[in-house]
Structure 1
Amino acid sequence: MGLSVKPEPGSESESSLLLGNSTTVHQKPPPDTFHLAYIIYFTLGLGFLLPWNAFITAVDYFSYLYPEASVDRIFAVAYMLVGLFCLVIIVFYAHKSDAWVRINVGLGLFVVALLVVPVMDAVYIKGRVGLYDGFTVTVGAVALSGLADALVQGGLIGAAGELPDRYMQALVAGTAGSALLSAGVLVSVLRILTKAVYTQDAIGLRKSANLYFAVGIVVMVICIVFYNVAHRLPVIKYHEDLKIQAVNEEKEEKGSLTGSMWRSAVWHIVGRVKWYGFGILLIYIVTLSIFPGYITEDVHSEILKDWYGIILIAGYNVFDLVGKSLTAIYLLENEKVAIGGCFARLLFFPLFLGCLHGPKFFRTEIPVTLLTCLLGLTNGYLTSVLMILAPKVVQLQHAETAGIVIVLFLVLGLAAGSIVAWFWVI
C-alpha cells in the first residue's frame, strides 16, 4: 500500500529520532513526576468529547421536546460538518496561530455551548413540547461544539504528536475514559441513574438533561485549568524545547516556511500520513453510520423496551474504553495489519443489516449487543494505534501538523459516517 515508515530501531532515544537530522539532545528528559502529565492528557482527552456525549445521551429529553425531529442524526451532521470545515482551515493556517490560544478558545466555546441547553430550558422551553425554534438554537449549540472540537482536538492531538507515545495513548484513551470516568460511560451511567430516579415526564427529563450539562461544564472548567498547568511541567517544557530546537534548525537550513513553501510542506506531510488517515477515515465511516443512529432508532426490544438503546450505548462506550486502553499494554506497530483491520470492519455493515432483516435469532438482543461491543472495541483499539503511529513518521517540527491532518481524516470519517447513517439501512 506504499505505507510509510517508522524510524529504524537503534541506540538513539525517541526524542533524538523525532528530531530527524537535528543535533542529538544530550539532556536527559525529566521524569513525569506522579505521572501528572499523563493524567492531564488523559483528562483532556476525556473532556473534549464530553460535550458531544452530553448532547447525544440527552436524547430522551430532546426527543420528548421535538418528537418530529431525527435528533441523533441531525446533531451528528451539524457537529461533524462544522468541525470538518474548521479543521481544513486550521491545517493550512496552524503555523500562523498558537496552539495554546486555539485550545483555550475551544475549551471556552465548549462551556458556552453546554450552557445553552439549561439556560434556554430555564428561560424559554420550560418543558413545553414542539417549540422548534428551541431545536434550531440547540442545533446551533451543537455546531458551536463542532467548532470548539476542531480547535481543541486538532491542537491537542498535534501537541501529543510532539511527545512520546504514552501521551498520545493517554489522550486517545481519555476519549473513552475509564470504567467510571469516561465521558460516554459517565453520562450513560448518569442517564441510567436519572432514568431510574426521576419520573419520565417533563420535570424528570428536564432534571436529567440539566444534570448532564452541569457535569459537562464542570469537567470543561477542570480541563481549562489542567491544560494551562501542563505547560509548567518540566517534562512538557523539555519536549517543547526539542520542538523549538528542531524548528530553528530547519529555519537555518531552509529558511521560514511561508506561502507556497508551507503549502508544499503540508502536502508532503499529508503524503507521509495518508494511509494512517485512510484507516482512521474507514474506522469512523463504519462506526458513525451505525452508532448512535442505528442503535437508538433502528433496533428494538420487546423485553428491554426503551432501556435497550441506553444499554447498547453504554456497552459501546465501555468497549471503546477497553480498546483505547489496550495500547498501553500492547501496541500493534505493524501499520499494514492495523490498516487492514480498518478495512475488515466493513463487515459490520452486512452483520448489522442482518440484525434488521436476517434470521430470527440474529434479530434478538444477544447478537446486536455482541456486535455493538465489538464495534466499540475495534473502534477504540485501531484508533489508538493509528493515532500513536502517524505523527512519528514525520520530523518533530512537523508532528503537530501531522496530528492535525490525522484529526482532519477522523472528522471527515465522522461526517461521512453521519451522512451514510441516513441511507445504509434503507
Structure 2
Amino acid sequence: MADSGSVSTPDRVEGKTKATILCWFLGLGSLVAWNSMLTIGDYYYAVFPTYHASRVLTIVYQPFAVVTMAIMAYNEAKIETRRRNLIGYILFFLTTFGLVVIDLASSGKGGIGNYAAICVMVAGFGIADASVQGGMVGDLAFMCPEFIQSFFAGLAASGALTSGLRLITKAAFDKTNDGLRKGALLFLSISAFFEFVCIFLYAYMFPKIPIVKYFRKKAASQGSKTVKGDLAAAGIQTPSGESAEDVKVERLSNKQLIMKNLDYGLDLYIIYVLTLSIFPGFLYENTGEHQLGEWYAVVLIAMYNVWDLIGRYVPLINPIRLESRKGLVIACLSRILLIPCFYFTAKYGDQGWMIFLVSFLGLTNGYLTVCVLTVAPRGYTAPEQNALGNLLVLFLLAGIFSGVCLDWLWIIGNGSF
C-alpha cells in the first residue's frame, strides 16, 4: 500500500522499538489492578476470613468480563478501538481508586456491606478487562507479532511486579501495627497510578508512532472502521482522503473466522481452564501448612507470575517457538496432567515440589499463550485480524471463567463451605 509518499514497508517505518515498549506498558496497565487484588489476597482473607475471597472475587470478575467481551466481539467492526480502550483504562483507574476509598471509609473493617462494595468494584474490573484486552489484541493483531508478544509480556509483568512488591511490603510492614492493611493500600494506590499513566500513553503517545500510523492507515484502506478515532487522534487522513466507511472490502464473517481458527480458540480455552482451576484459589486454600507459613501462598503466587513472564519471552527464540497447529493442540491438552500432579503434591509433597509445579504452570501458560496469539492472525486482512483477535480473547476469557468455576471443586467435601 502506498503511504502518501512515505515508505511502503513496515520494516522501514520508524518507531517499532518505541511501540513495542509502549505495548508492554499498556499490557502492564491492563492487568496490574486485578493482579494487585490477587496478590493482596492474604489481606482480604484476614478481613473476610469466611468469604473465600480469592475464589469469590475471581468468580465475580469473570462473568462481567466474558459477557462484555462477547458483546464487543459481536460488534467489534462497529466500535472505535480508541474509545473502547480509553473507556477501559479510565474504568480501571476509577475502580482501583474506588477500592482505596472503600477501605479508608470502612477503616479496613469486614462485613457483608463492605464485601459487596468490593465485589461491585471487581465487576468493574471485568468490564474494563474485556474492553481493553479485546480492543488491544484486536488492534495489535494487524500490526507486528512482536507487539502482541510485548503486550502479553506486559500482562505477565504486572503479576511479577505486584508479587515482587508484595514480598517487599510484607517484609517492610510485617512487624508494624496494621501492616497487612498498609501494604494493601500501597498496592492499590500504585495500581491506580499505573492505570492513570496508561490513559495518557494510549491517548497521546501510542497513536502518533509512525509504524502504528502505518498499520492503521493500511487497515483503513482495507475497510476497517475501528481505526477511525486513532487516525484522527494522530492528525492524519485515511488513504486517498477516503473515510473508512467508503472502503468496501469483502471479509470473512465472525462465524467463518471461528470455524477456520477453532483449534486456536480451543487452545486458549484449554490453557486458561487448566491454569485458573489452580491459580489462585487452590494455592491459597489447598496447599496445606509448610515451613514458609504465612509467606507460602505469597511465594507461590510470585513464582507463578515470574515464570509466566519468562514464558512469554521464550517464543522470541525462533528455534523453540511452537507454530504447528497440531503441536499446539497436543501441548495444550498435555497440561491437563498437571491436575493430578498438583493434587498429589498438595497431599504428599513438600513445598519445594509445589514451587516447582507452580513455576512450570506459569512457564507453560505464558509460552503457549504467546505462541497461539502470534501465529493465529497470519494471512488475513486487517479487519479480519481485528475480529479474530477479539474472538480469541473471548475464548481466553471463557477459559478463565470455566477454570474459576472448576476451582471450587477442590474444596467440595472438605468442610470449607
Short-chain TM bin: 0.7 to 0.9
Q: Which shifted more, 411-420 or 56-65?
A: 56-65
Asked whether 1:341 is paired with 2:331, we answer yes
Q: How far apart are the structure 2 equivalents of 1:50 and 1:321? A: 13
Matched with 1:4 is: none
Contact 1:352-1:371 within 8 A present in 2 as well: yes
Matched with 1:197 is: 172
Asked whether 1:106 is paired with 2:88, we answer yes
Instruction: State the secondary structure of the residue aligned to 1:291.
Output: coil
Matched with 1:171 is: 151
- CA apart distance, 1:172: 1.3
Contact 2:222-2:247 within 8 A present in 1 as well: no
Q: How far apart are the structure 1 equivalents of 2:124 and 2:199? A: 17
For 1:44, which of 8, 26, 32 is the aligned residue?
26
Instruction: State the secondary structure of the residue aligned to 2:151.
Output: helix
Read off the aligned partner of 1:208 and give its amino acid letter: G
For 1:226, which of 201, 226, 239 is the aligned residue?
201
Q: How far apart are the structure 2 equivalents of 1:254 and 1:212? A: 47
Call closer, same or farther: CA 1:62–1:167 in 2, change over 3 Å. same
- CA apart distance, 1:301: 3.2
For 2:217, which of 236, 241, 247 is the aligned residue?
241
For 2:311, which of 314, 319, 323 is the aligned residue?
323
TM-superposition CA deviations, 1:356-411 (whole Å, max 9, x none): 34xx4xx2112111111000000000001001111224322211110000000000
For 2:121, which of 116, 134, 141 is the aligned residue?
141
- CA apart distance, 1:26: 7.4
Read off the aligned partner of 2:119 and give its amino acid letter: V
Unaligned runs of 5+ in 2: 225-241, 413-417
Asked whether 1:153 is paired with 2:128, we answer no
Matched with 2:405 is: 419
Q: Which shifted more, 325-334 or 147-156?
A: 325-334
Q: TM-score by structure 1 length?
A: 0.86
Contact 1:394-1:402 within 8 A present in 2 as well: no
Q: How far apart are the structure 2 equivalents of 1:61 and 1:411? A: 26
Call closer, same or farther: CA 1:384–1:256 in 2, change over 3 Å. closer
Matched with 1:390 is: 376
Q: How far apart are the structure 1 equivalents of 2:295 and 2:279? A: 16
For 2:390, which of 400, 404, 416 is the aligned residue?
404
Contact 2:288-2:346 within 8 A present in 1 as well: no
Asked whether 1:62 is paired with 2:44, we answer yes
For 2:54, which of 72, 76, 86 is the aligned residue?
72
- CA apart distance, 1:252: 11
Call closer, same or farther: CA 1:374–1:387 in 2, change over 3 Å. same
Call closer, same or farther: CA 1:62–1:425 in 2, change over 3 Å. closer
Q: How far apart are the structure 1 equivalents of 2:271 and 2:24? A: 22
Matched with 1:275 is: 263
- CA apart distance, 1:254: 10
Matched with 1:312 is: 300
Contact 2:290-2:351 within 8 A present in 1 as well: no
Matched with 1:7 is: none
Give structure 1 regions of 4+ aligned residues with deviation exceeding 4 angstroms. Answer: 251-257
TM-superposition CA deviations, 1:261-314 (whole Å, max 9, x none): x9x711011112211010000000000000111111100233111111111111
Matched with 2:276 is: 288
- CA apart distance, 1:122: 1.6
Q: How far apart are the structure 1 equivalents of 2:340 and 2:54? A: 22
Q: Which shifted more, 300-309 or 279-288?
A: 300-309
TM-superposition CA deviations, 1:223-245 (whole Å, max 9, x none): 11111211111100101111111
Call closer, same or farther: CA 1:136–1:168 in 2, change over 3 Å. same
Read off the aligned partner of 2:121 and give its amino acid letter: A
Q: How far apart are the structure 1 equivalents of 2:62 and 2:383? A: 28
Call closer, same or farther: CA 1:201–1:74 in 2, change over 3 Å. farther
Matched with 2:352 is: 366
Q: How far apart are the structure 2 equivalents of 1:100 and 1:200? A: 46
Instruction: State the secondary structure of the residue aligned to 1:85.
Output: helix
Q: TM-score by structure 2 length?
A: 0.88
Q: How far apart are the structure 2 equivalents of 1:368 and 1:78? A: 27
Unaligned runs of 5+ in 1: 1-14, 17-24, 177-181
Q: Which shifted more, 220-229 or 236-245?
A: 220-229
Matched with 1:126 is: 107
Instruction: State the secondary structure of the residue aligned to 1:300.
Output: coil
Read off the aligned partner of 2:313 and give its amino acid letter: S
Read off the aligned partner of 1:416 and give its amino acid letter: S
Contact 1:272-1:394 within 8 A present in 2 as well: no
Q: How far apart are the structure 2 equivalents of 1:242 and 1:117? A: 41
Instruction: State the secondary structure of the residue aligned to 1:116.
Output: helix
- Identity among equivalent pairs (%): 30
Call closer, same or farther: CA 1:34–1:399 in 2, change over 3 Å. closer
- CA apart distance, 1:203: 2.2
Read off the aligned partner of 1:188 and give its amino acid letter: S
Matched with 1:8 is: none
TM-superposition CA deviations, 1:117-157 (whole Å, max 9, x none): 2111222x1032x3220011101111100000000000000
Q: How far apart are the structure 2 equivalents of 1:281 and 1:368? A: 24
Matched with 2:186 is: 211
